[in-house]
């Protein structure tokens, strides 16, 4: 039977837009539906606006830092509403870019919700539309925890639209979003309490960086409450009382829950299409196919590696596989990532613990005050680390906490993806004076890890 489209993409975020655009470029008849906002979480309530807020929070510290260089600058008044309005204008501009990319490629756009009627048929804003292949790229959503009084707090989406800047904030969570917003609010002058279950924030990251981040956040004035959680939230006058598991009570203006995200699959009608769901996510094979071979899922809805560039790469790869004769070989095994904390963190490859579980590794670690802060007097340290496979001397992981860490890590990711060894790093001439040169001047091994595991 003839179908209305060769490919229908549900979701106009990073994964869906890339898949639709590249597929249309290959000559396929493509449609894409988005019910909320073009660009998805990243552009609207994620990576992009969050980094703009991070940058806003840095200026106050820069005013103080400038005094060490002879400036007599004075702290000014921050206008939260002006920041949110400027952020909104930038997001609107990006929304338009996403639409124009799709239109320019020849894709049909629906500003509507799409749900399954059967395996090849969708209800798109009340219209019945058929497609030979369908891609589910609806992303994820933040959720409130099951805590008494949780309705008195917010999730990350709402943080980008607060009408006023809170003066006191309690954040629950120890992941990306929690530590980033702790830095944002502290940088803008709020009193911040960060509560998390683990001994250190950012579970899964290298332990040395987690230690260094906790130290840096404390130096910034963020009050840390490790190995703790929120038992309940209660209104109190114009604010809230937050009771922690250790019995302490914190008075605050805003409670921010950053306790995780789940795939946004509710109400899609997956059961009508026979698409299997496991643990709240859509499982896929190596070809991104679901339990129905003509229905695919990409991006955060699969709950595998929930990063925007990964979603974009998956969308591109699927489009090439479906409608072109080639298949780009993306490296999903060593994906670089950054946390825009204060200071930022970045990493690529294996942590020390993960590498040591596979065999003996050489660890190279340095911690120092960067050149800027020897003058500014700010107590901000930089930490750099290389994890090297002992038998082959291949660099398995690079990790950094410090100014410009994300910018540096992109280049290191290329080297590690290419299989660089420690000798390659040692043979590389550094750029002086930079912090980046420390990665090629780490001559003295700090320690050896993983020997015991290898012996077993």
Question: By the 8 A CB rule, do 296 and 135 touch?
Answer: yes
DSSP helix/strand/coil, 349: strand
Question: By the 8 A CB rule, do 178 and 258 touch?
Answer: yes
What kind and span of H or E run contains 401?
A: strand 395-401
Between CA 424 and CA 421 the distance in angstroms is 5
78 among known catalytic residues: no
Smallest Cα–Cα separation from 9: which of 323, 319, 271?
A: 319
Question: By the 8 A CB rule, do 159 and 49 touch?
Answer: no
Cα dihedral 105, 110, 111, 115, rounded to 10, equals: -130
Question: By the 8 A CB rule, do 207 and 365 touch?
Answer: no
Between CA 427 and CA 19 the distance in angstroms is 40
Question: By the 8 A CB rule, do 218 and 182 touch?
Answer: no
Backbone phi and psi for residue 32, each to the nearest 5 degrees, phi listed first: -140, 135
Helix pair 47-66, 176-187: axis angle to 10 deg: 40
- DSSP, res 431: P
Smallest Cα–Cα separation from 336: which of 295, 308, 375?
A: 308
SS percent in the chain: helix, strand, coil, step 5:
35, 25, 40
Question: Could you give the maximum distance between any two Cα atoms of the chain, in Å?
Answer: 75
Of 77, 146, 326, 432, catalytic: 432
Q: So which residues are the catalytic ones?
A: 432
């Amino acid at each position: 039977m003839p179908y209305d489209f060769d490919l229908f993409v549900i979701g106009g975020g990073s994964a869906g837009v890339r898949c639709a655009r590249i597929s249309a470029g290959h000559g396929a008849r493509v449609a894409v539906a988005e019910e909320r906002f073009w660009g998805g979480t990243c552009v609207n309530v994620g990576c992009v606006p969050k980094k703009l807020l991070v940058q806003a929070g840095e200026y106050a510290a820069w005013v103080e830092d400038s005094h060490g260089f002879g400036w007599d600058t004075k702290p000014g008044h921050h206008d939260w509403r002006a920041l949110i309005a400027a952020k909104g204008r930038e997001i609107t501009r990006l929304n338009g870019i996403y639409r124009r990319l799709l239109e320019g490629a020849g894709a049909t756009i629906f500003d509507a919700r799409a749900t399954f009627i059967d395996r090849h048929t969708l209800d798109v804003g009340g219209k019945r539309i058929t497609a030979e292949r369908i891609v589910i790229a609806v992303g994820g959503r933040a959720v409130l925890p099951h805590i008494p009084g949780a309705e008195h707090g917010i999730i990350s989406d709402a943080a980008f639209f607060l009408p006023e800047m809170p003066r006191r904030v309690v954040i629950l969570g120890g992941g990306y979003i929690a530590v980033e917003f702790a830095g944002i609010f502290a940088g803008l002058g709020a009193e911040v309490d960060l509560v998390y279950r683990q001994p250190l924030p950012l579970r899964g990251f290298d332990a040395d960086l987690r230690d260094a981040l906790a130290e840096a956040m404390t130096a910034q004035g963020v009050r840390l409450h490790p190995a703790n959680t929120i038992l309940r939230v209660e209104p109190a006058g114009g604010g809230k009382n937050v009771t922690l598991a250790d019995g302490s009570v914190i008075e605050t203006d805003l409670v921010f829950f950053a306790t995780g995200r789940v795939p946004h699959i509710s109400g899609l009608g997956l059961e009508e299409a026979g698409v299997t769901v496991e643990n709240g996510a859509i499982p896929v094979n190596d070809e991104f196919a679901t339990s129905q071979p003509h229905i695919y899922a990409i991006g955060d809805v699969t709950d595998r590696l929930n990063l925007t560039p990964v979603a974009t790469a998956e969308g591109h790869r699927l489009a090439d596989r479906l409608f072109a004769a080639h298949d780009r070989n993306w490296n999903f095994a060593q994906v670089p990532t950054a946390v825009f904390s204060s200071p930022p963190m970045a990493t690529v490859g294996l942590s020390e613990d993960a590498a040591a579980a596979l065999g003996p590794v050489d660890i190279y670690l340095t911690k120092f005050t960067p050149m800027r802060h020897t003058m500014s007097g700010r107590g901000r340290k930089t930490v750099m680390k290389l994890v090297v496979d002992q038998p082959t001397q291949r660099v398995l992981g690079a990790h950094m906490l410090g100014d410009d860490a994300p910018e540096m890590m992109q280049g290191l990711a290329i080297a590690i993806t290419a299989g660089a060894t420690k000798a390659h790093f040692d043979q590389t001439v550094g750029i002086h004076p930079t912090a980046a040169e420390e990665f090629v001047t780490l001559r003295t091994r700090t320690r050896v890890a993983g020997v015991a595991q290898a012996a077993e």
